[in-house]
Amino acid sequence: MSNPPVISIIDDDLSVRTATDNLVRSLGYAVETYASAEEFLHSPHLGDTSCVITDVRMPAMSGLDLQAHLIAGGRRFPFIFITAFSVEADRARAMEAGAICFLIKPFDGDTLIRCLDTALARQGTAPSE
């Protein structure tokens, strides 16, 4: 039996990290959570990640800057962005760089699940039914 895809959740808000972690784990995925983009970049799980779910606005490095940094370094993960701020320029930047979804908080769990299914299908890492 293969290992489940690793979903990395990056958000500076503990309550959002916890809620998203609980939802994604309930689907049978392996989850790693990080309070910052920098913490994720220094993680031993960076290479295992199948999808990134990240906040757009975080102290130091934003989710958008993280996406750009990884692409510049030759690493391409499906990104699902979540944000409390509906800024069209942020959405456009994320989507132009290949993001799967750009969700405005609060969002419902079913929407996140659909985004995650799409991301993993594109990666070829969706679990077999």
Here the CATH number for the domain that contains residue 112 is 3.40.50.2300
| Count of all residues that appear for the chain in the document | 129
Tokens of 49: 């990640």
Please report the pLDDT score of residue 1 as a whole number.
43
- For residue 127, pLDDT over 70 is answered with no
**Burial of 63: CB neighbours in 10 Å, binned 0-12, 13-18, 19+:** buried
Q: Strand (E) positions, the chain?
A: 6-10, 30-34, 49-55, 79-83, 101-104
Please report the pLDDT score of residue 98 as a whole number.
94
Angle at 127 between CA 106 and CA 109, to 5 degrees: 10
> Based on the structure, what is the number of domains in the chain?
1
Please report the pLDDT score of residue 125 as a whole number.
61
Contact residues for 77 (Cβ-Cβ < 8 A; gap 6+):
8, 49, 50, 51, 52, 70, 123
Query: pLDDT, tens digit, for every residue of 45-87?
Result: 899 999 999 999 999 999 999 999 999 999 988 999 999 998 9
Please indicate, yes or no, if residue 129 is contained in any of the structural domains. Answer: no
Strand partners, 33: 9
Tokens of 12: 């500076």
Print the domain residue range for 49.
6-123
Please indicate, yes or no, if residue 34 is contained in any of the structural domains. Answer: yes
- CA within 13 Å, CB half, 109: 10
Please indicate, yes or no, if residue 1 is contained in any of the structural domains. Answer: no
Please report the pLDDT score of residue 64 as a whole number.
97
- For residue 128, pLDDT over 50 is answered with no
